[in-house]
Structure formats: C-alpha cells, structure tokens
Amino acid sequence: MIDVNEALRYLGASGADDVLRERMQQVARDAEARFRPRYIYRVSAVEHRGEGEWLSDVQLLLPGKSAGKMLAQCHRAVLLVCTLGSAFDSAMRMEQARDMSRAVMLDVCGSALVEAGCDQAQEEIAARFPGMYLTDRFSPGYGDLPLEIQPVICRLTDAQRRLGVHVTPSLLMNPQKSVTAIIGLADEPQRARIRGCAYCALREKCELRKGGHSCDD
Ligand code: SF4
C-alpha cells in the first residue's frame, strides 16, 4: 500500500541506493502491518457564487481562485478527513528515542500511508458515483485556499468524535498524520491540475500538452 518511491521522494532521496531502498521497504512493511488509515467523508452540492464555491449541504464557502478553478465544472464536492490515529504519534516518539534515522523513515512512510488512505477513499467515492469524474484532491493551504478551512472540515465531518482528529489553535493537525481534503465531482473528465499530465484523463488528446504547456502555465 505504501508507495516506497513516494516515501523516498518525501525524504529527498529519489535516487537512493539499494541499501537505503531496502531499509525503507522494511520500515514501510512494518508501518503497513501496524497502522491502517481510517477516513470519513461528506458529500455536498456545489453552487458557484461570485464570492466563492458554496457547498450548500454543509453551509461552507470555499473562497478564492484556487477552489474556484478546481471546482469550476463540479456540481458536487466531497470533504474528506483521513488519519493514521494517535498510535502512529506514539510509535514515532518511541522510534525517535531509539533510532533517529529509522524515525525519519517512519515519518515519511506515515505520510505515504495517509496519502494511500486518501487514494482508497477516492476509489470508494468514485465507485459510489459511477459516471462522474473526480478532480484531484486538494487541501486547505493549496493556492489561496485558507488553512482556516481545516478545522471547519473537521467539524463538518465530525472528525473529532469519529476519528479522534482535531486541529490545534495554530492550525496543526492532531494526530500528526492526518489530512483534510476536498474533491470535486463533475460530469466531464477533469484535468489533473495537481498530479500533473501523467495522471490526466485528457492527456492523449490535450492540445496544451502537445504544445509543451500545462494547465497551470
Ligand atoms: S495540460 Fe492537458 S494533459 Fe496536462 S494536466 Fe492539463 S489537461 Fe491534463
């Protein structure tokens, strides 16, 4: 489930030698055996308003250009929270006391595992809405979408009660390996604005790409 290449990239070690790759694989296997991402999500209708994207079922306004761009063709959006839970934080503290280099690897494996949990949630959402197309998921802090939306997503999904996730007054997620995200749902294939051309459903026909450009140029 953990993408070891992604974990190595988080570490800034994409060109890792076999020894480092093997160590990372071991830590990843351990992490997969011990921690399982859990997630919750809530779906809302979207109205495009002058002041931003209005998620009417949850009464949430997503202000700014970034959310507007991501949800431009969407008439529904999903609020998602995914976490590895507090057990991961305890394991990190133990590992930091025992072996700092392994702790660093566990940290990036945790990040990759929580992303894998989000991928799994996306697959479930896609299956629940056949014939609809998902946007890339994006999180508060992306572009001009304020980080202050993070605690609001947790409140609207009841994440504290259901997953034990909350956001501190300084806007940090607790437990540490927790993610809030937004995913749009549209009737047409969506450009992979964040993950890039390699993941884009439009890549074979895309004139932008043929011209050597991308969506965000
Ligand atoms: S440039 Fe084209 S292929 Fe690349 S992400 Fe945008 S729409 Fe997709």
Query: Given pLDDT bands bounded at 50, 70 and 90, which one contains residue 12?
Result: confident
Domain 36-186 architecture: 3-Layer(aba) Sandwich (3.40)
Decide whether any atom of ligand 1 lies within 6 Å of the 201 Cβ: no
Which residue's C-alpha comes closest to atom 7 of ligand 1?
191
The model's pTM: 0.90
What pLDDT, in 10s, does the model give residues 78-105? 999 999 999 999 999 999 999 999 999 9
Which residue's C-alpha comes closest to atom 4 of ligand 1?
197
Helix axes 18-34, 100-128, angle to 10 degrees: 60
Mean pLDDT of 128-157: 96
Distance from Cα 175 to the centre of ligand 1, integer Å: 35
- % of the chain exceeding 90 in pLDDT: 80
What is residue 208's predicted lDDT score, i.e. its pLDDT?
A: 83
Q: From CA 137, how far away is CA 44, in angstroms rounded?
A: 15
Which residue's C-alpha comes closest to atom 1 of ligand 1?
214
What is residue 42's predicted lDDT score, i.e. its pLDDT?
A: 98
Ranges of each domain in the chain: 36-186
Q: What are phi and psi of 208, to 5 degrees?
A: -55, -50
Q: From CA 199, how far away is CA 33, in angstroms rounded?
A: 28
What is residue 193's predicted lDDT score, i.e. its pLDDT?
A: 86
What is residue 210's predicted lDDT score, i.e. its pLDDT?
A: 86
